[in-house]
Amino acid sequence: MKRRALLAAAAATAATLGARGAWSTRPDSGHDYPSRPITLLVPWAAGGATDLSMRILAEAAGRQLGRPVLIENRAGAGGTLAMPLLQQAASDGHTLAQLPQVIFRAPWTQKVLWDPLRDVTPIVQISGYTFGVIVPADSPFQKFEDLFAWAKAHPGQLTVGTNGVATTPHIVMDQLMQQRGIEWVHVPYKGTAEQMLAVASGQLMVGVNSTGFAPFVDSGQLRLLVTFAEHRSRRWPHAPTLQELGYGIVAMSPYGIGGPRGLPSAIVEKLHRAFHAAMNDPAHLAEIAKYDQELAYLGPADYGRAMREAYVREKSVVERLGLARQG
C-alpha cells in the first residue's frame, strides 16, 4: 500500500511538472519566442526613406529580441501589398508588417480580400510623415499657387507624381484640383527615390511625397513649395503649409507595426517592448530626423483605437471626393 501511494504521488508530481513544462513552451506563452528570424514586410521599394528607416528599426529590434528581423519589400499598389501576406501569415509572431495609412483607405476605394482591422493585431505606432510638394530647382513654379495658374492655362498638361493611387498625396492633390476644375496628369510611383529622380531630371513637373525628398531638397536639386503639416517644418521654415495658405488641409499619415490576426498577447507584449526600445535607438532617431519626422508612439491598445478611428475617417474622405468603390 505504502509503495503504491508513493508511486501515485510520484506520478502526480510528474504530471504536474509535465503540465507546467508543456505550458511554458506553448507558442502563445512567449517563452520560446522568437524561435527563428522574423520577417518584417515593408510595402515600399528598397532604398526609399521608409525602407531605410525600417531597416535600422529592424536591426535594433532584432537585438532586443535575440533574433534577426529581416526586411522583405513588397512595393506597389500604393503601399497595400503587405496586407495579403499578413492576412495569410501564421499567428506566431514571425511575420509582421509596416502599416501605412493607406491600408485604412484602400478598402473603401477598391475591392480587397483583407480587412485592416479584422486581419491585423496592432503592436506599436512609430512615427508619421511630413508630406510636401516639390519641383525641380530650375522650375518656373516659385509658389504653390503657380501650379494652379499654369495648369489652368495648359489643361491636361501638368504632370504630378505621387507614391501611388489613393495615397495621401494623391488624395490631397485630387481634392485641390477638383475644387478648381483643373485637368491634370497623375503619375503613380512605387517608391520615393524613383519619383524624386524623375522630378529632379525633369521627367515630372511636380512631385508629391513624404519627406524622402529631404536629401534632394537639401542638396539643391529640388525646391519645396509647401508641406501638408500643421506647422511649418523646423528644417525647411521657408515652406508654408497648406493650412497657412488657406486650403484648410492638414495631412499627416502615422504608421506603425502590426502582426497577423490572433497574435497571442504574450508575443504582442514582447514585440511591443522590443520595437518601443528600437524606435528610441539613437540610430533610428537620427535616421527619421533626416526626413523631418518625430516619434508618435502609441502602445497596442491606443494604436488599435487610432486604427479604428482612421478607418472610419478615411471612409468619409473617400466619399467626399467621390472615390468610393461601387458594389
| 209 lies in the same domain as 281 | no
Instruction: Answer whether residue 71 is part of any domain.
Output: yes
Work out the mean pLDDT of the chain and round it to a whole number.
90
Choose one of 227, 245, 265: the last residue of a domain. Answer: 227
**Do residues 286 and 301 lie in contact, with contact meaning Cβ atoms separated by under 8 Å?**
no
CA nearest neighbour of 188 among 175, 214, 169: 169
The confidence score (pLDDT) of residue 234 equals 87
For the chain, the straight-line distance linking the first and the last C-alpha, in angstroms and rounded, comes to: 76
| 165 lies in the same domain as 210 | yes
Structurally, how many domains does the chain consist of?
2
Q: Kindly tell me the burial class for residue 232, based on how many C-beta atoms sit within 10 Å of its own C-beta (0-12, 13-18, 19 or more).
A: middle
Grid coordinates representing 60 are 535594433
| 144 lies in the same domain as 221 | yes
| Cα–Cα dist 37/250, whole Å | 39
Report the CATH number at residue 88.
Answer: 3.40.190.150
| 199 lies in the same domain as 263 | no
| 159 lies in the same domain as 214 | yes
Instruction: Answer whether residue 90 is part of any domain.
Output: yes
The residues, any chain, with a CB within 8 Å of residue 242's CB and separated by 6 or more, are 172, 226, 227, 228, 248, 249, 250, 251
CA nearest neighbour of 123 among 312, 278, 288, 281: 278
The confidence score (pLDDT) of residue 296 equals 94
Domain range for 177: 131-227
Helices (H), the chain: 2-24, 49-65, 82-88, 106-109, 145-153, 168-180, 192-200, 214-218, 265-279, 282-289, 300-320
Instruction: Answer whether residue 242 is part of any domain.
Output: no
Mean pLDDT of 194-203: 95
Report the CATH number at residue 160.
Answer: 3.40.190.10
| 203 lies in the same domain as 62 | no
Q: What is the pLDDT of residues 25-60, one digit of tens each?
A: 344 556 799 999 999 999 999 998 899 999 999 999
| 143 lies in the same domain as 220 | yes
Mean pLDDT of 132-150: 97
Q: What is the pLDDT of residues 283-318, one digit of tens each?
A: 999 999 988 898 999 999 999 999 999 999 999 888
- Residue 41 sits at the vertex; the CA angle it makes with 36 and 42, to the nearest 5 degrees, is 140
Grid coordinates representing 18 are 509535465
Mean pLDDT of 86-99: 98
| Cα–Cα dist 313/263, whole Å | 26
